[in-house]
Each structure stands twice: as structure tokens, then as C-alpha cells.
């Protein structure tokens, strides 16, 4: 059975207390009431105006008409289009005209600033625009965001049909796979990270970024993950982790005798000791294995007695509620979360020499083959038909 291991390589884990392998470092009406004329006073005012009308003359009629308030003007609002460009991004005139397919006169009334950049050691003046202003001007010209995207798609296909060896030029915000901007700090103003977030389940995105944040906490330089490093790591997570987890339930199982029994067992789950204390004394509910580097590593695992309690509680849930979402398929996530927290081995970014990878030491509790082996060993339950085939998760 897989075990929580002491790692000789640098690694991080999503647990908030972890600073090195198997250790942890802990990390959302006022109402104003408008005054109204009492109904009785309003009626009296109306009756008075009917009973005693003011004398009217041609001059007074014209004066009343001239002093009558104008009807409120209809305010025109711009379409609620979502920008793909981050606030504060600037773009030169040359790039604005080329990438957004505009003409110089399209930019004439846009605010701009002058700047200088060096070319061959000489300062060259450059006019800069806010890229969001340029983007909206392109939308106005081509019929909104959809129209501008359609224009780019047409030009991209034309470029591809020519079999040109040059890359098709377009704004970074409109590269394939990009979308509206995301203010999540973990996106880091990166279209690559924004694309990863769109393709990743929210809980998995949060867990992977928590692991990277923990990894950055133990670095010596104090810089943390630079944007390109987080891009590489999260793109690797997208390849390695997405699609390898079963559906995560939105709500836990309702109470029942079997569910309550499992939760009582999990509440007593043994806790992995701090790394400096490993092997010094026996920990109730944990089994310690000593090893020598590089062949074998120190490790802890829930001991046979506690594992038997967990699998017997799962067996009761399966007997009463089945293996689908009303039973084990949801209950397994509670075991996963407990094992992850108590054994400090959830989703983890691992760096060993020049190799970088993702692991999840708790993912075994989500697999049907791990369940079947445990039920057979501790409960004498034969493997379910068709579900004993090993599965790879994490």
C-alpha cells in the first residue's frame, strides 16, 4: 500500500502549514426612505386645484409652457462588452495599427502620450495609447468583440492558406485560447494562466496554486514564483492532473447511521508528527518505516488497526447506500480530505534536480481499486465486478 514518504527533493504541498516535505506552514444595508406627501394632503391639494383654477390668459399660458421642465434626456449607454486587456496596458501606434487592423485616422481622437525607446543606442520618440482604448476602437469599427474576432479569424485563415512561414500577428489578448481578463492574483496578468484556469476545475486550480505558494515560501531568495515559472508549472498540472479525478460532490452526504459512523472514525484520524520528531517515538495509529537514502525513505502510514476501522466504515456505507453518488462516490472525498490534512500529502509540486512534476499522495482514497483491496483485506468483501482494475489518479 502506498505510504507517505520523507522526500529528499524540494517539494511543496497545498496544506497551509507545510514548509518542507511532510511539514506544514499555515495561510468575504443601509436603506434610505424617500419622503412622500401623505395621501390625505395629496387629495386635498388636488381638490383645491380643481375647485379654484387659476385664471388663464394667453400670456400666462405661454409663460407656463415656457417654464415647464424638459422631459429627461434618454441616456445612451455603451454595450457591456468585457475587455480582454488588463487595465493600464499601453501599446505603441505602430503595433496598434498592425495588430488591431486600424488606420491612423482611427486613432486621431484617442488620448496618447509620447515616450522614448532606444534603437541602436539612439532615443526614438514613440506614441503610446491605452490598449483598452484601441481595443474598443477596433470593436466600433468591426461590429463589437464578435465582429473583431470574426475579422481576425478570417485573416488568420487567409494567412494559413498562403502557407506562410511567418507567424500570424494579432494582439496577445486575442491569441487562440485567450478570453476576457481575470483579476485573480494567481493569473498574474498572463493569458496562458487565464487559459489554464478556464480549463481547470475551481477546486483543482485553488489546490495547485496553494501548493505553488507553499513551495515559494521555502525558497531562499524570497521571490516566489515568477510569472513564466507559474505558467510552466500550471500548464504541467493541466496536462497531468486534469481528467484524473472523479467528479467532486457539491454537497456532503446527509447524516445517516453509516455516514455518522465514518465521520466519527475520521475525526479520530492519527496526525503525522513534525518532521524532526519522526522515528523518535511511537505515534498512536501510525506505522513508521525507516529507510536509508537513496534506496528507501522514511515514511508513515495509518496502521493496520485504524485502516481496518476506515474500511469497515466504508463497507457499511456501501451496504446501506451503494457505491454511487448517494454512497461511497461522495464519502470517499471526506476520507481524501482527512488523509490529506492529517498526513500532509495532498496535491504537491515536486522539484528534483531539473525534473518537475505533480503528485497527490491522498488520491489513492478516490480509487475503486484501492477501496476493493482494503475491503477484501479488512472486511472479507470480494472485489466488485469490473471495478478491481487499477486506476491512476494524481
Cα separation of 366 and 373, whole Å?
13
Name the DSSP class of 364. G
The string of DSSP letters for 49-94 reads HHHSPPP--HHHHHHHHHHSPPPPPPPP----PPPSS-TT-EEEHH
In the chain, the percentage of residues whose pLDDT exceeds 70 is: 73
User: 60-104, pLDDT tens digit by residue?
Assistant: 444 444 455 555 544 445 567 888 887 888 999 999 999 999 999
Residue 4 CA, distance from chain mean position: 27
Name the DSSP class of 24. B
Q: Which residues contact 134 (CB under 8 A, 6 or more apart)?
A: 91, 96, 100, 102, 107, 110
Partner residues linked to 122 by β-bridges: 119
Cell numbers given for 75: 441616456
Q: How far is CA 21 from CA 271, 292, 335, 336, in A?
A: 15, 17, 21, 18
User: Around Cβ 181, how many Cβ atoms within 10 Å?
Assistant: 19
Angle 132-232-342 from CA coordinates, rounded to 5°: 115
Which residue matches cell numbers 457505491?
323
Q: Number of C-alpha atoms within 13 angstroms, CB side, residue 155? A: 16
* Four-residue CA torsion sign, 16, 17, 19, 21: negative
The string of DSSP letters for 220-271 reads SSS----HHHHHHHHHHHHHHTTTSSPPPPSSPPPP-HHHHHHHHHHHT---
User: 173-205, pLDDT tens digit by residue?
Assistant: 898 877 777 778 898 888 889 889 999 999 999
Listed residue (254, 214, 308, 196) closest to 13, CA to CA: 214
Task: Give the chain's mean pLDDT.
Answer: 79
User: 362-390, pLDDT tens digit by residue?
Assistant: 999 999 999 999 999 999 987 654 443 43
pTM for the full predicted model:
0.63
Confidence (pLDDT) at 79:
60
Amino acid at each position: 500500500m502506498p505510504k507517505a514518504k520523507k522526500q529528499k527533493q524540494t517539494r511543496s504541498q497545498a496544506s497551509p502549514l507545510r514548509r518542507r516535505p511532510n511539514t506544514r506552514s499555515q495561510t468575504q444595508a443601509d436603506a434610505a426612505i424617500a419622503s412622500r406627501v401623505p395621501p390625505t394632503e395629496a387629495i386635498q391639494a388636488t381638490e383645491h386645484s380643481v375647485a379654484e383654477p387659476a385664471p388663464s390668459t394667453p400670456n400666462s399660458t405661454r409663460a407656463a409652457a415656457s417654464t415647464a421642465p424638459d422631459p429627461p434626456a434618454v441616456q445612451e449607454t455603451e454595450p457591456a462588452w468585457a475587455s480582454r486587456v488588463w487595465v493600464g496596458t499601453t501599446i505603441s501606434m505602430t503595433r496598434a495599427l498592425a495588430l488591431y487592423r486600424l488606420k491612423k485616422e482611427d486613432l486621431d481622437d484617442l488620448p496618447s502620450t509620447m515616450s522614448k525607446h532606444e534603437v541602436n543606442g539612439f532615443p526614438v520618440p514613440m506614441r503610446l495609447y491605452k490598449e483598452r482604448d484601441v481595443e474598443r476602437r477596433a470593436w466600433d469599427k468591426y461590429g463589437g468583440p464578435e465582429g473583431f474576432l470574426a475579422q481576425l479569424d478570417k485573416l488568420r485563415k487567409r494567412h494559413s492558406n498562403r502557407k506562410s512561414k511567418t507567424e500570424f500577428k494579432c494582439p496577445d489578448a486575442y491569441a487562440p485560447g485567450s478570453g476576457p481578463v481575470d483579476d485573480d492574483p494567481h493569473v498574474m496578468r498572463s493569458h496562458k494562466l487565464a487559459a489554464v484556469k478556464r480549463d481547470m476545475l475551481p477546486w483543482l486550480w485553488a489546490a495547485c496554486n496553494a501548493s505553488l505558494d507553499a513551495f515559494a515560501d521555502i525558497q531562499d531568495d524570497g521571490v516566489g514564483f515568477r510569472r513564466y515559472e507559474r505558467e510552466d508549472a500550471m500548464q504541467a498540472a493541466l496536462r497531468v492532473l486534469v481528467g484524473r479525478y472523479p467528479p467532486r460532490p457539491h454537497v456532503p452526504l446527509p447524516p445517516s447511521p453509516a455516514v455518522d459512523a465514518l465521520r466519527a472514525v475520521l475525526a479520530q484520524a492519527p496526525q503525522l508528527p513534525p518532521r524532526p520528531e519522526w522515528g523518535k517515538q511511537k505515534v498512536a495509529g501510525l506505522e513508521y518505516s525507516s529507510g536509508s537514502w537513496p534506496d528507501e525513505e522514511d515514511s508513515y502510514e495509518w496502521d493496520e488497526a485504524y485502516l481496518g476501522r476506515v474500511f469497515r466504515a466504508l463497507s457499511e456505507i456501501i451496504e446501506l447506500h451503494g457505491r454511487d453518488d448517494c454512497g461511497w462516490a461522495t464519502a470517499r472525498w471526506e476520507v481524501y480530505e482527512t488523509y490529506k490534512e492529517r498526513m500532509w500529502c495532498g496535491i504537491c509540486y515536486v522539484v528534483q534536480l531539473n525534473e518537475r512534476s505533480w503528485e497527490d499522495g491522498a488520491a489513492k482514497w478516490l480509487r475503486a481499486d484501492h477501496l476493493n483491496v482494503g475491503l477484501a483485506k479488512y472486511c472479507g468483501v470480494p472485489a466488485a465486478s469490473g471495478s478491481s482494475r487499477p486506476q491512476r489518479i494524481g
